């Protein structure tokens, strides 16, 4: 039998020392009991957060102007979702690092056309009303150039949009049917009908809330509520939850990257964060096979504290 050099970070010495009694079942039972008691105590003392979900109805009733402006952006194709890119549409530039852009390579898989999906189709399913029907027909029969011209005229005065006496007011006559459409979609939203219309696009049975969530996330109302609850991205929001709860504290490193440059300044920040975390995760999992990294614990010597009784006995 040949001998090979002992590799202290790979090989383990044969243990020829003493053994002591060990009741594995008793240990497990005690652990379950202790964790059960601790869990129940924490649940009784601290409970758990449960802030009500935001609906398009609550949003449009709380801030009709923000809703109408967002709906205007969805209609004219200038919202965040409209310019998002894959997997929703072809708007905007995909996130990338050099030539790497998996988002772009995979392309559109959850097709979202904000103009039709968020405004025109829901309004088209409403009971016929002369003014609404006329506005819809005007929009649908217009060329894309004309629609873009209406959109450009609307964008110029969007900041001056008001909501009074149950009506949306837009100070322009150059925006074609946009003011009428926004007025009706705001009324629809405030009644709760738009929530149902967006969900019902998936059929009778559905558990997919992609469209209403994307719509809500385009407005400033939703983000404002989150900021008040310390949930914004620059508030380490990814790992937090509402109230004073620990949240997903184990995501601290993932969230950390969003707080520093270049991750928080790059247009491809998400991709850079995920790329960094994938590399770090691979290093963690493959640690036993990586020379140098696998030597760290031996050099740190924290094991001397863990096994202090063993080393004391040896000495």
Partner 1 sequence: MSNAQIERQWTSRLRHRVVDKLPPERLLPDTQPAYVASWIYVFGVTTMAALGIVILTGIILALDGPQWWHSSSLGHFVNSMHLWSVEIFFFAMVVHLWGKFSMAAWRGGRSMTWVTGGVTFLASILAGFTGYVSQTNFDSQWISTQAKDGINSTGGGAFFNVLNLGQMLMWHIVLLPLAAVVLTGLHVIMVRVKGVVPPFDDNAEVSA
Of residues 131 and 278, the one with the C-beta less far from partner 1: 278
Q: What is the nearest approach in angstroms of partner 1 to the Cβ of residue 161?
A: 24
| Triad 113, 119, 124: Cα angle to 5° | 110
Give the whole-angstrom CA distance, residue 185 versus residue 67: 9
Enumerate the β-bridge partners of residue 169.
Answer: 162
Angle at 166 between CA 160 and CA 169, to 5 degrees: 25
Rounded Cα distance, 212 and 196, in Å: 9
| Element of type H or E holding 271 | helix 269-285
Distance of CA 80 to the CA centre of its chain: 14
From the CB of 36, what's the least distance to partner 1, in Å?
6
Shortest distance, position 48 Cβ to partner 1, whole Å: 4
User: CB of residue 6 vs partner 1: minimum separation in angstroms?
Assistant: 5
How many Å apart are CA 241 and CA 246, to the nearest integer? 7
**Least distance to partner 1, CB of residue 205, Å:** 9
Query: Residue 164: in which H helix or E strand, if any?
Result: strand 162-164
Which of residues 56 and 182 has its CB atom nearest to partner 1 in the complex? 56
Q: Which is nearer to partner 1, 188 or 214 (CB)?
A: 214
Backbone angles phi, psi at 252, to 5 degrees: -60, -40
Nearer to partner 1, 183 or 240 (CB): 240
Q: Which is nearer to partner 1, 178 or 214 (CB)?
A: 214
């Amino acid at each position: 039998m040949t001998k090979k050099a002992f590799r202290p970070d790979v090989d383990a010495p044969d243990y020829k020392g003493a053994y002591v009694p060990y009741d594995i079942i008793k240990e497990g039972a005690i652990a379950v009991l202790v964790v059960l008691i601790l869990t129940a105590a924490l649940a009784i003392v601290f409970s758990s957060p449960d802030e009500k979900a935001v609906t398009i109805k609550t949003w449009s009733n709380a801030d009709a102007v923000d809703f109408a402006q967002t709906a205007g952006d969805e209609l004219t194709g200038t919202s965040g979702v409209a310019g998002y890119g894959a997997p929703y549409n072809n708007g905007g530039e995909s996130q990338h690092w050099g030539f790497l852009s998996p988002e772009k390579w995979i392309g559109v898989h959850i097709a979202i056309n904000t103009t039709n999906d968020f405004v025109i189709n829901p309004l088209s399913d409403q009971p016929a009303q002369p003014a609404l029907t006329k506005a819809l027909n005007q929009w649908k029969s217009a060329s894309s150039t004309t629609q873009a011209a209406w959109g450009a005229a609307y964008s110029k005065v969007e900041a001056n949009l008001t909501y009074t006496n149950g009506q949306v007011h837009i100070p322009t006559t150059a925006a074609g049917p946009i003011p009428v459409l926004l007025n009706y979609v705001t009324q629809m939203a405030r009644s709760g009908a738009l929530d149902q219309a967006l969900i019902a696009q998936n059929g009778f049975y559905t558990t997919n809330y992609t469209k209403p969530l994307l719509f809500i996330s385009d407005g400033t109302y939703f983000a404002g509520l989150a900021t008040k609850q310390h949930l914004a991205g620059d508030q380490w929001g990814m790992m937090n939850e509402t109230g004073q709860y620990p949240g997903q504290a184990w995501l601290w490193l993932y969230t950390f990257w969003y707080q520093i440059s270049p991750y928080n300044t790059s247009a491809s920040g998400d991709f850079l964060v995920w790329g960094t975390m994938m590399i770090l995760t691979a290093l963690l999992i493959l640690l036993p096979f990586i020379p140098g990294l696998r030597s760290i614990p031996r050099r740190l010597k924290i094991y001397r504290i863990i096994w202090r009784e063993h080393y004391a006995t040896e000495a």
